[in-house]
Structure 1
Amino acid sequence: MPDIRIHRKHALGLSKAREVAWKWAEQVEQKFDMECTVVEGETSDTVEFTRSGVNGRLIVAADHFDLDAKLGFLLGAFSKTIEGEIEKNLDSLLAAGSKSAAKKAAPKAPKKK
């Protein structure tokens, strides 16, 4: 069975990383008919996902994401395409999460009187 392994570093912190992971889980549930389960921990969470021909997990930590997936025989022929889609989707969510985290961290300008 082909494997997909994706590692992404980030600087979001665990709280914001959780939000990104939950968005990712919602998207793959809707778009790919995946069944996702989130297991929360103190220092990291695990998003387990499955459907016919695919199973895997996304480890969500304060400074990185690790995704491991196993593809069945039929989907194995499309492993590079599937991996590319996952990378594109995850990178897009991480970029959006980084932008919103930066907006929250930016100091507000004082009000003019």
Structure 2
Amino acid sequence: MPSIEIRRPHRLSAAEAHAVIDQVATRMREKFQVQTQWQNDSTLSFDRPGINGKIAIGGDEIQVSAQLGMLFSPLKGMIEQEIRRKLDEHFS
């Protein structure tokens, strides 16, 4: 099962980073029909058939990890590029 691991530094407070991830989660639910759930104040899990993962907020870093099923394996590069673009947009 292919996986995606991306880390991006940030300078936001925990509350600001949480709010940004909430916005991203809303967009993910609308665009990709994923289910999202905060596991605690710093980790958002997401899931849909063929993709599951989490977005973890650290003190100075955002970490995205995802596992792709067979259906999404050929799209790994495109998915990873979109995640990087969104992280750059919100955390650069």
- Once the two structures are superposed, residues 34-87 of structure 1 have per-residue CA deviations (whole angstroms, 9 ceiling, x without a partner) of 10001234xxx1100000100000101231100100000110011011100111
Structure in which a larger fraction of residues adopt strand? 2
Task: Say which of 54, 57, 60 aligns to 1:60.
Answer: 57
CA distance in 2: counterparts of 1:14 and 1:89, whole angstroms: 18
**TM-score, with length taken from structure 2:** 0.93
Partner of 2:72: helix, strand, or coil?
helix
Unaligned runs of 5+ in 2: none
Instruction: Report the Cα distance in structure 1 between the residues aligned to 2:28 and 2:90, rounded to whole angstroms.
Output: 12
- Count the aligned residue pairs: 92
Structure 1 distance, partners of 2:59, 2:27, is 21
Between Structure 1 and Structure 2, whose CA radius of gyration is higher?
1
TM-score, normalised via structure 1 length: 0.77
**More RCO (CA 8 Å, sep 6+):** 2
Tell me the percent identity. 32
5+ unaligned residues in a row in structure 1: which ranges? 96-113
